[in-house]
Structure 1
Amino acid sequence: MRIEPTEFADVLVLVPDPFRDARGLFTRTFDAGEFDAHLGTPGAAAAFQQDSQSRSARGVIRGMHGRVGRGEAKLVRCANGAVHDVLVDIRPESPTFGHQQAFRLDDETFRHLYVPPGFLHGFQALTATADVCYRIDRPHDPTEDIGVAYDDAELAIAWPLPVTVVSERDAAAGSWQELLAALGRDPAPEVRGADSLG
């Protein structure tokens, strides 16, 4: 397994090396030893406590979601199909605060993301169905949920397909400016998008 950096400090792309033969393929999607060695933190992988999975139809958007408090770290991968996955940095002291980067996650390359606390996250399903698996480092607490509308004009996320379905919660999510106020940030820092997929 290869571990690659991204534009964001501490966000990593994990790239397995599937073994393919006449039967299909076999791949290791996570290796705690390699993960801990890369982070330089023995036992970091053991912090993951909860696995979840979503299934979405083509064009569905889930996002943009985050958490307040101490946040959550997560591993995100697409086990079936493909998604356009987007992160926005909301770490108050980060030099990339307000920046976004997109990643293609799919069942061909099995690339997946390690996302530390302090990011908004969302994705759009690119295939007839897309199964996304999440491994997080603490149980979900709905009282800590925050979000920004997937179609917020300032974020201006370039979703690749027409939007088919979003949840009521996501449709009613607040604006980037409302999130800045909630985070105690001055209004209107530059939001910068990524030109290509990471």
Structure 2
Amino acid sequence: MKVTATALPGVLIIEPQVFEDARGYFMETFSARRYREQAGIMQAFVQDNHSHSRRGVLRGLHFQKARPQGKLVSVTRGAVYDVVVDIAPGSPTLGAHVGIELSDRNHRQLWVPPGYAHGFCVLSEQADQTYKCTDYYDPDDEGGLAWNCPDISVAWPIDQPLLSAKDRQHPTLSQLLAQWTDPTRRHP
């Protein structure tokens, strides 16, 4: 297993060992001991999610406010451009982002620690993305950041993304931070 640090603290690209031959391939997608020892992922996973999307779909950028989820993300079919954004007030990398391609060919995984915003767009005809989460999804705790936020300027590899109604409504990073100055609001 190869583990590569990114420009964002704690965000890792993980490349599991793949055993491939004429029949196909085999790989271990997760081992608590190995991921703890080699990648430093100490959190327990409590929920697995599977997302199926078609070309041009963009999902995100999502996070949970009071109970942030860490996510181990991978693609089992197709290809996506996956993005992680630092949204922590006071962080030296606030507003910085990392984007990488995850696919069923490169077998990469992305570790997104709790407290980051996360999203992806589909590059292939269809894509199946799975992610292991360190906390349970709570619809009352969800938050979002505008996919086209000028404060972060993600260079998405698609021009006209297919978005949910909810994802069209997310604030920019500046608007989000202004909301969080209100002590009655929750934030990561």
TM-score for both structures, normalised by structure 2: 0.90
The 3-state SS of whatever aligns with 2:166 is helix
Identity of aligned residues (%): 39
Deviation for aligned residue 1:163: 2.5
**Which position in structure 2 is the counterpart of 1:33?**
33
Deviation for aligned residue 1:51: 0.4
**Which position in structure 2 is the counterpart of 1:77?**
74
CA deviation vs aligned residue, 1:46-69 (integer Å, no higher than 9, x gap):
x10000101111111001111111
In 2, the alpha carbon distance for the partners of 1:173 and 1:34 equals 37
In 2, the alpha carbon distance for the partners of 1:76 and 1:62 equals 14
Residue of structure 2 aligned with 1:107, choices 91, 104, 107: 104
Deviation for aligned residue 1:11: 1.1
In 1, the alpha carbon distance for the partners of 2:40 and 2:104 equals 29
Q: Is contact 2:53–2:128 with CA below 8 Å preserved after alignment?
A: yes
Question: Is 1:54 paired with 2:51?
Answer: yes
**Which position in structure 1 is the counterpart of 2:186?**
none
Deviation for aligned residue 1:39: 5.2
Residue of structure 2 aligned with 1:157, choices 145, 154, 159: 154
Deviation for aligned residue 1:37: 1.2
In 1, the alpha carbon distance for the partners of 2:40 and 2:56 equals 38
Q: Is contact 1:77–1:113 with CA below 8 Å preserved after alignment?
A: yes
**Which position in structure 2 is the counterpart of 1:142?**
139
In 2, the alpha carbon distance for the partners of 1:38 and 1:16 equals 11
In 1, the alpha carbon distance for the partners of 2:65 and 2:98 equals 21
CA 140–6 in structure 1, closer or farther in 2 if over 3 Å, else same: same
**Which position in structure 2 is the counterpart of 1:92?**
89
Q: Is contact 1:65–1:146 with CA below 8 Å preserved after alignment?
A: yes
In 2, the alpha carbon distance for the partners of 1:98 and 1:162 equals 21
Deviation for aligned residue 1:155: 2.4
Count residues in correspondence. Answer: 182
Deviation for aligned residue 1:40: 5.1
Deviation for aligned residue 1:119: 0.8
Question: Is 1:120 paired with 2:124?
Answer: no
**Which position in structure 2 is the counterpart of 1:15?**
15
Deviation for aligned residue 1:18: 1.1
CA deviation vs aligned residue, 1:66-85 (integer Å, no higher than 9, x gap):
11114111111111111001
CA 168–19 in structure 1, closer or farther in 2 if over 3 Å, else same: same
CA deviation vs aligned residue, 1:19-41 (integer Å, no higher than 9, x gap):
11111111111221111113557
CA 177–94 in structure 1, closer or farther in 2 if over 3 Å, else same: closer
Q: Is contact 2:95–2:173 with CA below 8 Å preserved after alignment?
A: no
**Which position in structure 1 is the counterpart of 2:4?**
4
**Which position in structure 2 is the counterpart of 1:189?**
none
In 1, the alpha carbon distance for the partners of 2:109 and 2:37 equals 18
Residue of structure 1 aligned with 2:165, choices 164, 168, 185: 168
TM-score for both structures, normalised by structure 1: 0.86
